[in-house]
Structure 1
Amino acid sequence: MRGLEQLVRFGWEQALSCLFPVVIFVSLAITQIMPPPLLPRYDWLLIIFLLMQVWMVRSGLESVDELKVITLFHLIGLTLEIFKVHMGSWSYPEEGYFKVFGVPLYSGFMYASVASYLCQAWRRLQIELVKWPPFLTVVPLAAAIYLNFFTHHYWIDVRWWLSGLVIIIFWQSWVTYEVGGIRYRMPIVFSFVLIGFFIWIAENIATFFSAWEYPNQTDAWSLVHLGKVSSWLLLVIVSFLIVAALKQVKGKMPLTSSDEAEKSI
């Protein structure tokens, strides 16, 4: 029973950390079922997400520093979206006034919501990192992973080499977190895999509600290929590394020894 109670507490904290993604899903569903008036659907989504972001900050659910991180992810995501849509990887077929090179501005919030989740979970679960690699190792790795999303269209795709490099670099790294006054630990690579898998599930929900459209979903919706998990896994790694690096720069990231982690999963 104790273990079940802890699992429920953990799930609740995770759910609270996913507040922004939940708003995105609900907004996508409602605007698809009941087309909004006056403005195209994409523009209403942008307005809703902007208002949600303002409320998150004003209510204290997110700090100004966290807003800066989330804004950075919005820009990173929007840049990637513009390139991928140009290359035909996916599309946004609906009309909208606030579109840049065929990409609606609300799309950046879907990347920003990942950053929002990471920031929220970091605070709620009192995340600490054990044996975190040096800053000069982490930053080039994150940059290489992000650049591969662009360069693999013109050169070889080195995602599996990068994935192997991640395992080597983070082989001894752990993430510790607190639930109900008890600290647990998990291999950080495993946490990357879990988050990437759940984002793949979220991607299926989002495409079902026409957030964007893959070429094979033009005539009818179909499940996103399981191979996309690898892409989300690498994107999660970039997101996690950026958040961790920024916290390290600001001196807010606790680094502990392995002895301080009380339990492992």
Structure 2
Amino acid sequence: MDKRDETHRHELTRVERALDRIFNRWLKGANAHGIRAFLVEFLVFGLKQAWACLFGALMLIAIVAARLWWPDDAALARNDMLVIVAICIQALMLVTRLETGRELWVIVLFHITGTVMELFKTGVGSWLYDPDGVLRIGGVPLFTGFMYAAVGSYMVRVYRLMDLRFDRYPPLWLTAVAALAAYANFFTHHYVWDARWVILAFVVAIFWRTWMHFRVYRRTLKMPILVAFGLVAMFIWFAENIATWAGAWAYPDQLDGWTPVSIMKLVSWFLLMLISVVLVTFVYRPRPLGVANELAAR
């Protein structure tokens, strides 16, 4: 095992190290080349991605289950039940060490920034929630902050699981400026000119040369980080369609019956990915390929 392997295994939680041993046994049985080797590594890649999405997947399952089976006239309102479920999921992630205390700070930041945006957006009518329940702030049920926290959970966990490295990552101060501009525009575009396309162009410009390297087992693979942003934004958009179908919230054009979420929301989710990445760099510094330093930021 080389130094990078040792560092990577040290960064995993106990459960993740056990899963990693299982995955490696599968991968050792496959040839280094050929279609079988590719398919096995692709399967493990998908399983690691699914494992990183655990928080979000459990939240989405709870939202759909509440739509299908929770009675409308139950003593405990559907939205309050989702708050309790979300708290239990978060507690489970910490107790089982699937997330560390250090990572929790980033997830809390996601929770706060998401809730602030929810309060504003519901206030101006961008979307709305059912008025039932008491565990809410204004028109925003408290479970909504956990949906943003689920994105944060994915980001910090995939960083560890895939042993991410980067080529030509922009200066952190520059990415922070872009993230602040994107976050501010979620609020200001209701009153002044919408700058999302200018911000999007700026993000593309500063990340254009950045490549993300990730390793499943034998091979270190890479993709442009902008492609990674786009792929994650697409998955969030799919999850948003499922959540709005399940009645977790509704956009104005869905009040008379569910319709798919506008494809233009992909731009918003793309910019959210930028904000997410910048928040994660508070804990995990972007590491260049070949550097085996400590993962946690000092």
TM-score, length basis structure 1: 0.92
* Counterpart among 144, 147, 153 of residue 110 in structure 1: 147
2:48 aligned with 1:13, yes or no? yes
Instruction: Tell me, yes or no, if structure 1 residue 65 matches structure 2 residue 98.
Output: no
Are 1:32 and 2:67 an aligned pair?
Answer: yes
- Unmatched runs of 5 consecutive residues or more in structure 2: 1-34, 292-298
Q: Kindly provide the CA deviation profile for residues 186-218 of structure 1, in whole angstroms up to 9, marking residues without a partner as x.
A: 111111111111110110011011111111111
Q: Which moved more, 1:77-86 or 1:20-29?
A: 20-29
Identity of aligned residues (%): 38
Instruction: State the Cα deviation string for residues 68-95 of structure 1 (Å, max 9, x = none).
Output: 1111100000000000000100000230
Q: Does 1:153 align with 2:186?
A: no
Partner of 1:263: none
User: Which residue of the partner structure matches residue 133 of structure 1?
Assistant: 170
- Are the aligned partners of 2:185 and 2:196 in contact in 1 as well (CA < 8 Å)? yes
2:273 is the counterpart of 1:236:
yes
SS in 2 for 1:83: helix
Counterpart contact for 2:233–2:273, Cα < 8 Å: yes
Note the aligned Cα RMSD (angstroms).
1.4
> Which of 219, 225, 228 is 1:191 aligned to?
228
Separation in 1, partners of 2:138, 2:131: 13
Correspondence for 1:210: 247
Deviations 1:15-39 (A, max 9, x none): 1111111111111111111225431
Deviating runs (4+, > 4 A) in structure 1? Answer: none
1:80 alignment partner AA: M
User: 2:87 aligned to 40, 44, 50, which one?
Assistant: 50
Q: Aligned AA for 1:15?
A: A
Deviation at 1:245, TM superposition (A): 3.9
**Aligned-partner Cα distance in 2 for 1:192–1:229:** 10
Mapped partners of 1:256, 1:183: distance in 2 = 10
Separation (CA, whole Å) in 2 of partners of 1:246 and 1:212: 31
Which amino acid in structure 2 is aligned with residue 67 of structure 1? L
* Residue of structure 1 in register with 2:130 after alignment: 93
Q: What is aligned with 1:82?
A: 119
Answer yes or no: is the 8 Å Cα contact 2:83–2:142 preserved in 1: yes
Q: Under a length normalisation based on structure 2, what TM-score does the superposition of the two structures give?
A: 0.82
Q: Give structure 1 stretches of 5+ with no counterpart.
A: 259-265
Tell me the distance in 2 between the aligned counterparts of 1:204 and 1:54: 27
**Count of aligned pairs between the two proteins:** 254
SS in 1 for 2:174: helix
- How many angstroms apart in 2 are the aligned matches of 1:241 and 1:188? 13
Q: How does 1:158-177 map to 2 (within 5 A)?
A: 158-177=195-214
Q: Distance in 2 between matches of 1:103 and 1:145?
A: 22
How far did 1:257 drift?
7.1
Matched residue of 2:260: which SS?
coil
Higher alpha-carbon Rg: 2
Cα deviation, 1:162-199, whole Å, max 9, x if unaligned, reads 11111110111111111123211111111111111111
Distance in 2, Cα, partners of 1:177 & 1:38:
48
The residue number in structure 2 matching 1:180 is 217
- Following superposition, the deviation at residue 8 of structure 1 comes to 1.1
Contact in 2 for aligned 1:139/1:245 (Cα 8 Å): no
Q: Give the Cα separation in 1 of the matches to 2:175 and 2:218.
A: 30
Cα distance in 1 for partners of 2:88, 2:217 equals: 33
Letter paired with 1:220: G
